[in-house]
Amino acid sequence: MTGIACSGDYCDNIQMECAELRDAVPDNADCRFVDISEEVSPSNHLIMLGDQAIVSIQCSGTHCDNKRIKYCRLTARGGGSSIDFETSDELPAVRCPVGLHVSSFGCAGRFCDNVSISCNSERYEEIGERYNTPWVENAGHVEADCGGGVMVGVGCSGDFCDNIQLECAVLRDVQPSRSACTVVRDYSEEALNAVRIPNDHAITAIECSGTHCDNKRITYCALQSVGERSSSSVPYVARMVSEEGGGPPSYCYEWNDGAIGFVCQGEYCDNIRLVCEPFPNGISLDPATNNWSEFFSEEGSDTVVQYPRPLGWYSVSGYNIAIGNNAEICNPLDSGGIVQGLKCRGSYCDAISIECSVPRYPDGRPVPMDAAECEWLGPYSEEDIGIDFNLHSRGRGSGTLRFVAGIECSGSYCDNKRFLVCPIR
């Protein structure tokens, strides 16, 4: 801000004059808010330090009587975030310019009403169109997850920015590494500073809880080169998922890993972990195809969905896939896919959603697959301790491993699970 003008009764309308500085930018991770009106005592004016500047003014009350001023410390250009944006339920969504992603997230006001983001200064090429997550509402601890992409914008609606939605993009040369993620828990307006993301990292998911979505759980991950592979050469057990604490998903840690089994514990198979393993022959999952299925549970088992002559990855002449609404298969009518994540909600992890992506060879070709070679195995539950569908095939040296492509559940609280298992070679 370099100047100000006003018009109307009692300076009812105000206008800021602004300028871009050659050698410095506001650092959105080091900002403060102050409320000013003529009733403020002992002083009704703001004094800033020499390396700080006003970046926005918001007004409320009769005749714009109350001003909320945001001021930030200036940092050398290239040493901090390059572009800052703010939104609330009264304002449109904000987004980073194409090629830039969100590098900090902050909020202010009652119930975290006013949301702010800043964008990184390093530009990446984006693949395809940007896309939005479903709206995250204050009830139910729902998570907005960019899947294989990164956060590039945010919008909100409802009282006190009650519902939020992420805008996401898939980057061409880098992707989030799920084995190098950090979770910031219960961020809200009480925090003095925004959550600032380290260089070479990006926000991938935000979950909210509390009144009016007041508390945010922010996940950010390190960016790795596309094709960089997991250091693991053996199966591993991923983190646990259950409905408690918001149900953060269980997922395979790298994009060249897929689900090959599961472990569940607790009554009604309440706590679930995926067993994951790297693909053979340099195969990796394509982040641009990443998606989460609808939630399903045992209540839909009486309704059967018939897939005559599946297309794409499952294409095979004369073969039918028939599943009930108590199951999900990774894109049966499109490009298919492999399960790489699982999340749940409801008592005892009653309803399940699976995360899928298409496997590709290093040259970008989708992995060919004959659905006739897939089979449903199970049901399994907590009584079975843990299942590895490659336990008897790994030592044969055939180069063929079996990975999970769908899940079905039955029994109280989705207790018993069957798995559609398909070979990858």
Residues in the chain: 425
Identify the pLDDT of residue 312.
Answer: 38
Q: Are 246 and 394 contained in the same domain?
A: yes
Domain boundary among 76, 92, 117: 76
Q: Are 60 and 96 contained in the same domain?
A: no
Q: Are 336 and 234 contained in the same domain?
A: yes
DSSP letter at 253 equals S
Identify the pLDDT of residue 397.
Answer: 47
Q: Are 133 and 144 in contact (CB under 8 A)?
A: yes
Q: Are 127 and 288 in contact (CB under 8 A)?
A: yes
Take residue 92 and report the two structure tokens written for it. 């449109």
CA 57 – CA 70 distance, rounded (Å): 6
Domain boundary among 20, 49, 76: 76
Q: Are 290 and 420 contained in the same domain?
A: yes
Q: Are 153 and 102 in contact (CB under 8 A)?
A: yes
CA 87 – CA 56 distance, rounded (Å): 12
DSSP per residue over 101-168, as a string? -EEEEEEESGGG-EEEEEE-SS---EEEEEEEPPPBPTTTT-EEE-TTSEEEEEEEESTTS-EEEEEE
- List all residues 6 or more positions away from 67 whose beta carbon is below 8 Å from its beta carbon: 35, 36, 37, 57, 58, 59
Q: Which of 178, 295, 190 is nearest to 232 (CA)?
A: 178
Domain boundary among 226, 251, 277: 226
3-state secondary structure (DSSP) of residue 227: coil
Residue with tokens 């299925």: 293
β-strands 83-87, 114-119 pairing: antiparallel
Q: Are 70 and 85 contained in the same domain?
A: no
Q: Which of 8, 12, 114 is nearest to 59 (CA)?
A: 12
Q: Are 30 and 84 in contact (CB under 8 A)?
A: no
Identify the pLDDT of residue 189.
Answer: 65
Q: Are 86 and 205 contained in the same domain?
A: yes
Total structural domains in the chain?
Answer: 3
Q: Are 324 and 350 contained in the same domain?
A: yes
Q: Are 423 and 280 contained in the same domain?
A: yes
| Number of CB atoms found within 10 A of residue 372's CB | 11
Pure H helices in 196-338: none
DSSP per residue over 400-418, as a string? -EEEEEEEEEESGGG-EEE
Sheet holding 66-76, edge to edge: 24-36, 66-76, 52-60
Residue with tokens 């969100």: 102
Q: What are phi and psi of 401, to 5 degrees?
A: -120, 155
Walk along the chain (425 residues) and give the pLDDT tens digit of each residue.
888 888 888 888 888 888 877 667 777 667 777 888 776 544 456 776 667 889 888 888 888 888 888 888 777 665 444 567 777 767 788 888 888 899 989 887 777 878 888 888 788 888 778 888 878 765 544 678 887 789 999 988 878 777 888 998 888 778 888 778 888 877 876 665 678 888 889 999 888 877 777 788 889 999 988 655 555 567 888 777 766 644 567 788 888 899 998 888 788 888 888 888 888 888 888 888 888 888 888 776 554 444 444 433 343 333 444 556 788 888 655 556 899 988 888 888 888 888 888 898 989 888 876 667 788 888 888 777 677 887 755 543 455 788 999 888 888 888 888 898 888 88
Give me the domain span that covers residue 45: 1-76
Q: Is the pTM of this model over 0.95?
A: no
- List all residues 6 or more positions away from 56 whose beta carbon is below 8 Å from its beta carbon: 16, 69, 70, 86
